[in-house]
Amino acid sequence: MPKIGIIGGTGIYNPDTFETESTVCPDTPYGKPSDDIMIGRINGVEVAFLFRHGRDHRFPPSGVPYMANMHALRELGCEYVISACAVGSLREEMAPGDLVIADQFMDFTKGRDYTYFDDRAVHIAIPDPFCPFLNDVFAETAEEMGIRYHNGGTYVCIEGPRFSTRAESRMFRILGGDIIGMTAVPECQLARELGMCYCSLATVTDYDAWKDETVDIDMVVRTMAECLGKVLALLEGGLPRMDSRASGCGCSEAARAAGALGRE
C-alpha cells in the first residue's frame, strides 16, 4: 500500500519516470475519484498518482470531486499527499517559473463540500494547514538542486474557473496573499480531517491581474510546461526522503484530537 499520494495534471504524470504497476478506481461513500489512480514508483518510491481534473481535464476547479479523491487516497493507505499545481503570483519577488511551497491559505471559495462531518460538529485545529515536515523536505531538496523556490507563502484560493479582476487581485495583495489558485481548498482541510500530511508544490505561471499583463490560459499552460522538468526533478529527489512518518508534525494528531478519525 503506497504511503504517498500525488495529485497533479497530465504533465506531472511522466511515463519516463513513473513506473506504473497497477491502476485502480475505487468506489467511495462520496462517489468515484476524478480518474483512475495509478500505483507505481518514482525513483524507487511507491506512490499513488491521481489526475485532479481528470485525464481529459473534464472537472473545473469547483467541480473536482475533492471528497472522493482524498478518501480514495486514504483508503489506499496514503499518509502523505503532495499537490502539484499552477498559481498566479501576488508578489513581485515570486516570479513566473519560481516554486512556492505554501504554508498558509485564505479561502475565498463559495460552494464546495468542506468537511466529511455533516452530521455533527468536528472542529479541526488547522493553524498551520500545510505539513511542516513535507515543506522542509522539499525546501531542502530544492536548495540542494539549485531550484529557485520560496519556502512559505499564503495561498489565496478562489472559486474559479475565471481569473481575478484587477480590483480583486489588488485586494488579495492588501490582505496578505502571496499566490493565488483554485484547488488548495478543500483538499488541504480534507487531508487534515483524514489525518494525512499535505504539501503544495506551487509553480508560479503569471502575475495574476495586479500588473499590466493580462492572464490567459495559454500563458498558464506554456509557463507550466516550461517548468515541469524542475517539478519532476524535485519529486524524484524529495520522495526518497519521506521514508518514515513525520514525527511531531501534528497533522494526524489534530484529526484525532477533534475526533475526526473515530470512524476508521
Question: Which residues are part of the catalytic machinery?
Answer: 206, 208
Task: Report the run of H or E that residue 149 belongs to, with start and end.
Answer: strand 149-151
List C-alpha distances in Å: 178 to 87, 105, 222, 228. Answer: 10, 9, 21, 21
Strands 99-101 and 4-8: unpaired
List C-alpha distances in Å: 229 to 12, 86, 104, 147. Answer: 9, 14, 26, 11
Q: Do 210 and 167 contact (CB within 8 A), yes or no?
A: no
DSSP letter, residue 82:
E
Strands 4-8 and 80-89: parallel
Helix 184-193 with 66-75: angle, nearest 10 deg = 40
- d(Cα 177, Cα 89) in Å, to the nearest integer? 9
Helix 217-238 with 132-145: angle, nearest 10 deg = 90
Query: Would you give the distance in Å from CA 22 to the centre of its chain?
Result: 23
